[in-house]
Amino acid sequence: MNHATDSAVVNYEVRDNIAIISLNSPPVNGLGLPLRQGIQQYFYAASEDPTVKAIVIASSGKLFCGGADITEFSGKLANATPALPALLRELEESQKPIIATINGMALGGGLELALACDYRIALFSAKMGLPEVNLGILPGAGGTQRLPRLAGVETATQMIVSGAPVDANTALASGFIDCIHDESSSFLDAAISYARELLASNAPVKSCAELSVDTSSLPEHFFTDFRQSIARRTRGFYAPEQCIQCIEGACKLPLDKGLALETQLFSKCMTSPQARAQQHLFFAERAATKIPGVSSKTLPRTISSVAIIGAGTMGGGIAMNFANVGIPVILLELKQDALERGLNTIRTNYDISVKRNKITQPQLEQRMALIQGTLTYNSLAGCDLVIEAVFENMDIKKQVFAQLDAVCKPGAILASNTSTLDVNEIAASTSRPQDVIGLHFFSPANVMRLLEIVRGDKTADDVIISTIKMAQRIRKVPVVSGVGWGFIGNRILEPYGREAARLMLEGASPAQIDRVLYDFGLAMGLPSMIDLAGIDVGYLTRQADRDMFYGRDPAYAAICDKLYTLERYGQKTGRGFYIYEGRDKQEDPEIMPLANEIAQEHNIEVREISDKEILERTIYMLINEGAKVLEEGIAYRSSDIDTIYCNGYGFPGHVGGPMHYADEIGLEHVVNTLKQYQETLGDYGKEWFSPAPLLERLVAEGKSFKSLSTAS
């Protein structure tokens, strides 16, 4: 006997003696209240139906379940009855076996739902994970208690604290799924057959309440050693430690007490500023792909072959991104030896990945085979996308684009990897400005996730959409910028760097500045970052726009310019703000005397500078310039600036980006602090510390940066 009834987000049917509860809440089966209510309603129906002997929980969509509905977190619905933890305990105590049918991604509460079932069958392509830690929280519906019981402490700890999903084979080997099916079209039928086999073999219902965590083979100091192993990567983050404490509890406590501990620590995480920051970034990354005035239904152009002009560090790194996802790449250089050097560097980078077990040797060969070198532009005639990554000089770039304009097929997308030059000027040098765009990769291009997409005035809508989709395909985080000096990232980096250089003249050492910013959560402080990027790179960039900087401040970046004249370019020459010998990095005793000398030349007072002043003058400059970038329309939304800074400049994810941080500490406080420095720093303060008009306006209206986005 078959009968089916449907809720808006859950389908229900009974096939003979198997009840099928099918999640149907696109796009990700988020376990919001309606879905929880639907699951509970049909779980009760199946439990009370005497004809039903087993229950299958499946999904109608491409994935199984993306977890709790994150949009509920800011309201009260997340705990509305049935709350997820309680619902899963009910399922766990079912008298009829429940089989979770994992057809695709099962993440967070989605995997927790599966773990509360009696059995789990996964499609070969499914992936399962508990990524809550990336949202500043922890698995709050039993994941920290059930996964250690089903998969062992080491696998559970690695999955929960890294947030990284595992594939079906790993899940099977770890013991938290029971079987894998290898064909998607017959997957539900296979799950129903599996349910029937379980019934025929009188397979028991199970509950983690009857299991304890097996610690017999756990290394004696496992948790201590694990904490040490993640210390660097999780520095400053709150949630990882809470995750570990839940798992330690699971090793000692019966299930219900462990669940109580998990709920307690989950609540502590949920109310933390870090959780707000990390959840802000989750939605910010997705918002960045929505372009005002461009319909999301705009069809992207096909990108199935790519060419990179220039086989240097950037060009080689860019090429790897495409080869990594199976897209053939033509790498063009002018001379054979340069081309060979570029290809050898790519192979060396892949060799390192093989040594680190990130890829296999066959994968290395597969990827290298996808990268073909050439010395002639004619080889590019059939490419769908060409990315120029040559020297940062407008004349050279124009020559390259003239050649591309002559040989590339109509409709090919012509991109420049420029980091500051005017994309409109480059586009105007071709007969097809509508096909020209900026694709600013960040070094190392095969590692850094951020891709700044620079939209020219004439760039066609479908070129924008095509490059956003392409960015996602090569696992980058795309953010669209308008055309303006430094676009978004380097534009707001400039005043941030300016303050660091000025603070040194006023008496703060490179080490003090680095420590303050590192302790705030930056991956690297400014002097160290400038040494890494190259003091010569910054110097040359400044010379291209001297009036913009030196014209307003004769002491602008003076300490950096002094080091440049001394040919101390940073790590690349073994000496910059620090002295580098191999991996050893030492403070350079000559820096502060040099800075004091320059200070005297410019009548700059040298004094004791507090950590607080260093932090405010650098970070608030990011915020102030970000407000200007917003106001000029270079950035569409403040969260785009946060996405850029957290994915391209090492800004701490647990702070959420400079603009989110400003909303958290209050824009009025930011404006008042800027005005204070405007007064106390004399002419320098008056020149550089005027609050951006948008900041002043928002304060006057009692609004936040976030309110701008929701308004638009």
Contact residues: ligand T1G, CB under 6 A: 27-28, 30, 63, 66-71, 84, 105, 107-109, 112, 131-132, 135, 137, 139-141, 143, 283, 286
DSSP-based three-state secondary structure for 107:
strand
Residues in contact with 672: Cβ distance below 8 Å, sequence separation at least 6, in sequence order: none
Under the phi-then-psi rule, with left for phi > 0, alpha for psi from -120 to 50, and beta for the rest, what region is 486? left
Q: How far apart are CA 189 and CA 191, in angstroms?
A: 5
Q: Which residues pair with 584 in a beta bridge?
A: 581
Does the active-site annotation cover 112? yes
User: Least distance to ligand T1G from the beta carbon of 664, Å?
Assistant: 21
| Nearest residue (CB) to ligand T1G, 141 versus 370 | 141
Token pair listed for 560: 């950096």
User: Least distance to ligand T1G from the beta carbon of 691, Å?
Assistant: 32
Selected catalytic residue, list 112, 388, 616, 625: 112
Q: How far apart are CA 614 and CA 73, in angstroms?
A: 35
| Nearest residue (CB) to ligand T1G, 132 versus 422 | 132
CA distances from 139 to 136, 311, 628 (A): 10, 45, 39
CA distances from 511 to 165, 173, 586 (A): 38, 48, 10
| Nearest residue (CB) to ligand T1G, 283 versus 485 | 283
Q: How far apart are CA 660 and CA 277, in angstroms?
A: 7
Q: How far apart are CA 523 and CA 648, in angstroms?
A: 11
User: Least distance to ligand T1G from the beta carbon of 705, Å?
Assistant: 19
DSSP 506-529: HT--HHHHHHHHHHHT-SS-HHHH
Q: 542, 490 in Cβ contact below 8 A? A: no
Report the candidate in 250, 84, 112 with the shortest Cα–Cα distance to residue 176: 112
User: Least distance to ligand T1G from the beta carbon of 506, Å?
Assistant: 44
Token pair listed for 594: 């040099």
Q: 456, 467 in Cβ contact below 8 A? A: no
Integer Rg of the chain from CA = 28
| Nearest residue (CB) to ligand T1G, 132 versus 588 | 132
Q: Which residues pair with 166 in a beta bridge?
A: 128
User: Least distance to ligand T1G from the beta carbon of 214, Å?
Assistant: 23
Does the active-site annotation cover 241? no
| Nearest residue (CB) to ligand T1G, 132 versus 392 | 132
Report the candidate in 652, 623, 614 with the shortest Cα–Cα distance to residue 521: 652
User: Least distance to ligand T1G from the beta carbon of 645, Å?
Assistant: 20
User: Least distance to ligand T1G from the beta carbon of 23, Å?
Assistant: 13
User: Least distance to ligand T1G from the beta carbon of 261, Å?
Assistant: 14
| Nearest residue (CB) to ligand T1G, 121 versus 275 | 275
| Nearest residue (CB) to ligand T1G, 141 versus 400 | 141
Selected catalytic residue, list 92, 132, 262, 499: 132
User: Least distance to ligand T1G from the beta carbon of 472, Å?
Assistant: 8
| Nearest residue (CB) to ligand T1G, 239 versus 308 | 239
Q: What angle do CA 402, 405, 409 make, to 5 degrees?
A: 160
> Which amino acid type is present at position 614?
I
Residues in contact with 499: Cβ distance below 8 Å, sequence separation at least 6, in sequence order: 617, 618, 621
| Nearest residue (CB) to ligand T1G, 109 versus 342 | 109
Q: 647, 477 in Cβ contact below 8 A? A: yes
CA distances from 57 to 24, 104, 200, 345 (A): 11, 13, 19, 50
Residue nearest to ligand T1G (CB): 108
Catalytic positions are: 112, 132
